[in-house]
């Protein structure tokens, strides 16, 4: 049984037979329309890709980077551990390594990207020339993609899973408080109700007061390693493209950390180092700050701080009360479940922005699409325009995770069944869409 949708059921399998993951086998059940789509991509799109790469490889044109135009960042040396104290009696800031080259800023794909700006990065995969080559391959699936907005900023992408206004997105990207809105491909914007959070998979089920919304075709077939994939936006141009790296794997959950190195003092645990790109960095914690309380719980040592955050997960927010000089300051920070490899300044800067919740998934497949955390939560499609997964986390410079549709579909069907047979939860938006009925035959 599946969720009824116009023409083809959204959560039904387009190709029911499982495709081998790593042996290079191909699916021969594509429709004539899909064949024409792929043929055009091969005949026209690939030529465009080759042209773009050749232009970028030339490197000497007017679009090339000016000599010595590189980005540099300050990076602190040394390993970091939130759980190690220090025998130094005072609060000592570690030395810095100045002007260490790391990488250029992350490039984003937007609606109507600038032609001239894309020429400057024509040797990179996610430039306008390459992305446009995938236009016909993605079909109309982009119309089922939404932008989830809070405070005027996009916090995640999402996918319409039912014409009656039901959507799914990445839960840990949503704010703990405040209104959430969904922007559709046609420019309409609706306040969204967070109907249910599925914590094990970091998914949130949203509802908007709209009907006859477009949906996309789904496929339970995980593409083979090396197959092209496109991350959709609410635009005819994909947000980014990449290739499959692995079959379905399990990702162990890492402990949630704040992103600081602490030492015990007479006033409480004091900050001796802040790891860049972490929740502590984003919240504005500084070297010398002393943590007094975590979520209204008194903290007087490194050990008590560890107890205060035990059991929390990446993406959870905590309220901090700190002593800064002679003043008490209140901050809100987001915990991150960073792996051991990322507990280092240089690694964090090289890898760029990492999803706060990037571990603890029973089933994901990896792909090398470069995404920002706020670009997760939306659909990942194959060259037939079928949704094969939901982007759920960015865990490294060229490592992103997607939940396969074979996992997502039954989870969403069960959630919809629970919601429509019980009273809807209190909405967290200014306008409540109510609790519309969804038929699951």
- 114 CB-near residues (< 8 Å, 6+ apart): none
pLDDT for 205 equals 96
Instruction: Among 321, 336, 351, give the residue marking a domain's end.
Output: 336
3-state secondary structure of 227: coil
Environment class of residue 76 by beta-carbon count within 10 Å: exposed (0-12), middle (13-18) or buried (19+)?
buried
Element (H, E) at 218: none
pLDDT of residue 129: 76
CB neighbour class for 317 (10 Å; exposed up to 12, middle 13-18, buried from 19) = middle
Residue 316 lies in a domain: yes
What CATH number does the domain containing 272 carry? 2.30.42.10
**In a domain? residue 414:** no
Q: What confidence category does residue 398 fall into, taking pLDDT thresholds of 50, 70 and 90?
A: confident
Residues 6 or more apart in contact with residue 399 via CB below 8 angstroms: 245, 366, 368
112 with 95, same domain? no
Q: What's residue 408's pLDDT?
A: 96
Residue 353 lies in a domain: no
Q: pLDDT, tens digit, for every residue of 378-390?
A: 999 999 999 999 9
Nearest to 340 by CA among 54, 101, 80, 110: 80
The confidence score (pLDDT) of residue 86 equals 38
| R_g (Cα) of the chain, nearest Å | 23
Is there a single domain that holds both residue 320 and residue 294? yes
316 and 292 in a common domain: yes
Query: Do 93 and 50 have their domain in common?
Result: no
Quick one: 267 and 314 in the same domain? yes
**Contact yes or no for 210/167 (Cβ under 8 A):** no
In a domain, 241, yes or no: no
Provide the sign of the torsion angle of the four alpha carbons 430, 391, 52, 34, taken in this order: negative
Cα angle value 335/341/345 (rounded, 5°): 70
Residue ending a domain, among 92, 116, 134, is 134
- If asked whether residues 282 and 306 sit together in one domain, one would say yes
Buried b (16+ CB within 10 A) or exposed e, 188-226: eebbbbbbbbbeebbbbbbbbbbeebbbbbbbbbbbbbe
Provide the number of structural domains found in the chain.
Answer: 2
Do the domain assignments include residue 291?
yes
pLDDT score, position 181: 97
Position 389 in a domain: no
In a domain, 37, yes or no: yes
Domain edge (last residue) among 292, 319, 336:
336
Asked if 92 and 46 sit in the same domain, the reply is: no
The answer to whether residues 115 and 83 belong to one domain is: no
Is 332 in the same domain as 293? yes
| H/E element, 349 | helix 345-351
**Band of pLDDT at residue 135, cut at 50, 70 and 90:** confident
Q: What percent of the chain has pLDDT over 70?
A: 67
Are 272 and 298 found together in one domain?
yes
Query: Is residue 44 in some structural domain?
Result: yes
Residue 47 belongs to what domain range?
33-66+108-134
pLDDT in tens, 74-118: 333 333 344 344 333 333 333 333 333 233 333 343 444 443 443
User: Averaged over 106-133, what is the pLDDT?
Assistant: 54
**Are residues 266 and 292 located together in one domain of the fold?**
yes
What does the pLDDT read at residue 119? 37
Angle at 82 between CA 296 and CA 327, to 5 degrees: 45
Same domain, 260 and 300: yes
């Amino acid at each position: 049984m599946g969720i009824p949708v116009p023409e083809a059921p959204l959560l039904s399998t387009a190709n029911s037979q499982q495709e081998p993951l790593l042996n290079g086998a191909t699916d021969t059940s594509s429709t004539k329309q899909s064949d024409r789509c792929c043929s055009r991509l091969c005949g026209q799109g690939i030529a465009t890709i080759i042209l773009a790469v050749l232009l970028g490889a030339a490197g000497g044109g007017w679009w090339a980077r000016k000599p010595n135009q590189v980005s540099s960042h300050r990076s602190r040396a040394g390993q970091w551990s939130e759980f190690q104290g220090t025998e130094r009696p005072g609060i000592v800031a570690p030395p810095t390594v100045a002007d260490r080259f790391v990488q250029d800023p992350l490039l984003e794909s937007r609606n109507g990207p600038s032609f001239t700006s894309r020429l400057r990065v024509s040797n990179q995969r996610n430039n306008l020339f390459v992305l446009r080559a995938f236009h016909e391959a993605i079909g109309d699936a982009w119309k089922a993609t939404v932008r989830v907005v809070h405070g005027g900023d996009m916090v995640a992408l999402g996918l319409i899973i039912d014409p009656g206004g039901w959507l799914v997105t990445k839960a840990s990207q949503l704010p703990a408080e405040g209104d959430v809105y969904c922007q559709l491909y046609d420019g309409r914007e609706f306040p969204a109700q967070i109907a249910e959070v599925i914590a094990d998979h970091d998914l949130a089920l949203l509802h908007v007061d709209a009907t006859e919304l477009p949906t996309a075709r789904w496929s339970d077939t995980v593409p083979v390693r090396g197959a092209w994939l496109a991350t959709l936006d609410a635009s005819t141009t994909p947000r980014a493209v990449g290739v499959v790296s692995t079959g379905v794997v399990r990702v162990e959950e890492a402990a949630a950390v704040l992103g600081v190195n602490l030492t015990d003092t007479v006033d409480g645990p004091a900050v001796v180092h802040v790891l860049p790109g972490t929740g502590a960095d984003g919240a504005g914690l500084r070297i010398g700050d002393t943590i007094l309380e975590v979520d209204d719980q008194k903290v007087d040592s490194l050990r008590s701080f560890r107890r205060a955050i035990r059991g929390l997960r990446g993406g959870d927010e905590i309220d901090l009360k700190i002593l800064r000089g002679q003043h008490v300051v209140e901050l809100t920070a987001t915990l991150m479940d960073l792996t051991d490899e990322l507990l280092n300044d240089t690694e964090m800067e090289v890898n760029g922005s990492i999803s706060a919740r990037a571990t603890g998934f029973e089933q994901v497949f990896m792909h090398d699409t470069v995404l920002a955390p706020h670009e997760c939560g939306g659909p990942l499609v194959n060259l037939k325009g079928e949704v094969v997964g939901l982007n759920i986390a960015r865990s490294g410079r060229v490592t992103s995770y997607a939940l396969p549709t074979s996992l997502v579909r039954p989870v969403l069907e069960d959630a919809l069944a629970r919601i429509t047979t019980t009273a809807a939860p209190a909405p967290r938006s200014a306008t409540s869409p109510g609790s519309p009925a969804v038929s699951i035959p």
